Structure 1
Amino acid sequence: MEVLKLILKNALRHKLRTSLTVLGLVVATLAFGLLQTVVGAWYAGADAASNTRLVTRNAISLVFPLPLSYENSIRGIEGVTGVAYANWFGGIYQEPKNFFPQLAISGRSYLDLYPEFVLDEDQRAAFLRDRKGCVVGSKLAAQYGFKLGDVIPIKGTIFPGQWEFVVRGIYDGRQETTDTSQFFFHWDYLNETLLKTSKRRGNQVGLYVVRIDNPDNAAAISGAIDRQFKNSLAETLTETEKAFQLGFVSMSEAIVVAIRVVSFVVIVIIMAVMANTMAMSARERLAEYATLKALGFGPGFLALLIFGESLLIALVGAAIGIVLLFPVAHAFSAKMGTLFPVFEIAPQTLLLQALAALTVGIVAAIAPTLRSMRVNIVDGLRSIG
């Protein structure tokens, strides 16, 4: 207990310097945690992907469509228990900055493949009845104030024209990691319009979502689907939903790597600041350490004092940074809107923050500890700090 009191008094001896060091640790720990959460949000879609769903797209690129006639062929492959299809719409709501995922889906079959989308039965029925109906995620509805019955005008980009949709349902996520920022409407509505305005683009889909009976057979079923359409005018590439999502992440991999690097650079910088603080403290106390040695206290006791002070400062700064991460992450998520559909602080992030602070405290104390242990009693007593 007396040692703890001595460590605390040493830490508070220079209150301004200690306060500024703690502040730096708070900022560094907070920045580290926020950047790690951003990286986690980048991979949220892949992490939440189902291992019983496959995605089939055009082998050349996602921008090239597939014929609607492929549905029955895929459904007939052994191991397939459900098939749905969708088109990326890519329209503009009010202004270009209002980006959110918009998908024309195959109605009932698509919703059946995504049980993680929790939709009231009455709302589901209303959506299936209304050709112009749409279903929006709860996060998207909260951001733009969408309510049941609202008419949402969207300007088409991939599919030109002014489109109007009626909100018939607002879905929630079964888990916190479920994406609730999406906008779904009927593929039939899109297709009927295209058959009138651009018949060549009709009866085509962007991708198929395939449910399988056993995740262990994913590779075999994927191969069977792709062989079915080999040498056709629209060959396919089938992969797991997770691999499909990771394909999008890989397009911005350089950004993700840069964010990771920056998060660790922040820790290295604060480690240098912390080491300098502890070095200054040790240099000022050489005479005290020499006195303790003369009184019979060994090097281990001196190491305990220095490491204890360093760890105390580091852990206090980390604790404040970890506590502040929650409101800051919430505010950041609200500001980003649907750019990060899932923005949750992972337990691993909190653990990394604590480990980073612990590492900073230990590393910063090594040099001053070695110096104090090696100080000669006579030279130390002559020291004036």
Structure 2
Amino acid sequence: MFLTQLLLRNAFRHPLRSLLTLLGLVVAIAAFGLLRTVNEAWYAGVQASSATRLVARNATSLTFVLPISYAQRIRGVDGVSSVSWANWFGGIYQTERNFFPQFGVDPASYLKLYPEYVMSEDEKLAFIKDRQGAVVGRKLANQYGWKLGDTVPIRGTIYPGTWNFTIRGIWEGRDAKTDENQMLFHWQLLNESVKKRFPKRGDSVGVFIVGIDDPSQAATVAGRVDAMFKNSLAESLTETESAFQLSFVSMSEAILVAIEAVSYIVVLIILAVMANTMTMTARERLAEYATLKALGFGPGFVARLLLGESLLIAALGGAMGIAVSFPIAAAFGSVVGSVLPVFEISATTIALQIGASMAVGFIAAAWPAWQMGRIDIVNGLRHVA
């Protein structure tokens, strides 16, 4: 109890210095958490991938298409349980800033392969029956204030014109990692328009989504699919859904490494600031620590006093930094929702924030505490004069 009271008094003996140190800790820990969350958000699609889904695309590039006729042949591959397909649409809602993913899909087979998109059976049926219908994620609907029955105009960029879709369903993610920032509509509607304008580009899809029975046979099944279309005009490249998502992440790998490096540099900077603060504190109290040793307090008590003060400040700064991380992340997530649809601070990030703040508090005071524990009583008391 005595030690606790002494720590509290000493920690705020110089209010301005303590407050500035706390402010630095809050900013550093919050920035560390935000940068870590950005990194994790890039990998959210990979983490949310299903082991029972494969993705088949054109082997040349994702910008090239595959014939829809491949679907029937893929269904016959041993180990395949179901097949669906999707086309990237790339439209814009109202202004250039209102961008979010839109896909033309085969409603019945696609939703069957994505059980993490949770919505009522009535909504699913309404979507399947309405060729102008669309379903959207809850986050997207909340962002634009959409509700069931609303008509949403999307201006096409790849496919020209204004496309009007009626909201027939709003899905909730099964867990926090499920993307709720997409719109799905009927591929057949898109295909009919393409065939009218560009007959040779019709009856083609961007990717096939392949459901498999046994995740351990993913590589084998993928090989069977690709072997079937080898030496054709449109060869396929089939991979697990996680590998498909990683191919996008790898394009930004250098940026992600840089962001992670910056997150640790921020912690190192505040460590240097904290170490300077604790060194100044130790020098100012040299005579006090010598007096404590003269009164019979051992070197361990003196060292604990300085370490405890540093850890107390670090704990307070870390706690406040973690607390402000949540509203900052929420505000940041609302701005970058179309790019990083799953933007939440994870338990791992919180644990790292706690560890970083405690490490800063301990390391910053370790050397001054060791020095004060070994201080010579006579030299320390002479410092009074």
TM-score range, shorter chain: over 0.9
TM-score w.r.t. the length of structure 2 is 0.97
Write the mapping of 1:59-208 to structure 2, written as runs, cut at 5 A: 59-208=59-208
TM-score w.r.t. the length of structure 1 is 0.97
Runs of 4+ in 1 over 3 A off after TM superposition: none
Letter in 2 for 1:93: Y
- Which residue of structure 1 lines up, in the alignment, with residue 365 of structure 2? 365
Does residue 298 of structure 1 match 2:294?
no
Write the mapping of 1:218-367 to structure 2, written as runs, cut at 5 A: 218-367=218-367
The answer as to whether partners of 1:143 and 1:337 remain within 8 angstroms in 2 is: no
| TM-superposition CA deviations, 1:187-211 (whole Å, max 9, x none) | 1001111111110110000000001
Moved more, 149-158 or 274-283: 149-158
1:296 CA displacement? 2.5
- SS of equivalent to 1:338: coil
Distance, in Å, in 2 between the alignment partners of 1:300 and 1:137 is 59
Moved more, 253-262 or 183-192: 253-262
| TM-superposition CA deviations, 1:88-146 (whole Å, max 9, x none) | 01112212211100100012111110001012222211111111111111111111122
Distance, in Å, in 1 between the alignment partners of 2:384 and 2:358 is 31
Moved more, 285-294 or 203-212: 285-294
Distance, in Å, in 2 between the alignment partners of 1:90 and 1:152 is 15
Distance, in Å, in 1 between the alignment partners of 2:131 and 2:292 is 85
Distance, in Å, in 2 between the alignment partners of 1:173 and 1:281 is 51
Distance, in Å, in 1 between the alignment partners of 2:165 and 2:3 is 70
The answer as to whether partners of 2:75 and 2:81 remain within 8 angstroms in 1 is: yes
| TM-superposition CA deviations, 1:147-184 (whole Å, max 9, x none) | 22222222222122222212111111111211111011
- Which residue of structure 2 lines up, in the alignment, with residue 33 of structure 1? 33
The answer as to whether partners of 2:337 and 2:343 remain within 8 angstroms in 1 is: no
Distance, in Å, in 2 between the alignment partners of 1:337 and 1:224 is 37
Distance, in Å, in 2 between the alignment partners of 1:252 and 1:74 is 32
Moved more, 115-124 or 65-74: 115-124
Distance, in Å, in 2 between the alignment partners of 1:331 and 1:68 is 42
- Which residue of structure 2 lines up, in the alignment, with residue 10 of structure 1? 10
Letter in 2 for 1:116: E
- SS of equivalent to 1:167: strand
Distance, in Å, in 1 between the alignment partners of 2:374 and 2:300 is 12
Gap regions ≥5 residues in structure 2: none
Letter in 1 for 2:152: I
1:40 CA displacement? 1.1
Distance, in Å, in 1 between the alignment partners of 2:294 and 2:153 is 83
The answer as to whether partners of 1:7 and 1:308 remain within 8 angstroms in 2 is: yes
Distance, in Å, in 1 between the alignment partners of 2:10 and 2:169 is 62
1:244 CA displacement? 0.6
| TM-superposition CA deviations, 1:263-297 (whole Å, max 9, x none) | 11111011011001100100001111111222222
1:334 CA displacement? 2.2
1:384 CA displacement? 4.4
1:371 CA displacement? 2.2
The answer as to whether partners of 1:136 and 1:167 remain within 8 angstroms in 2 is: yes
Distance, in Å, in 2 between the alignment partners of 1:200 and 1:303 is 80
1:336 CA displacement? 2.7
Letter in 2 for 1:300: G
- SS of equivalent to 2:50: coil
The answer as to whether partners of 1:284 and 1:384 remain within 8 angstroms in 2 is: no
CA change 1:384–1:201 in 2 (3 A) is: farther
1:241 CA displacement? 0.5
Distance, in Å, in 2 between the alignment partners of 1:289 and 1:359 is 24
Equivalent residue pairs, number: 385
| TM-superposition CA deviations, 1:312-335 (whole Å, max 9, x none) | 100111011112222222222223
The answer as to whether partners of 1:137 and 1:181 remain within 8 angstroms in 2 is: yes
Distance, in Å, in 2 between the alignment partners of 1:111 and 1:227 is 27
Identity %: 59
- SS of equivalent to 1:81: strand
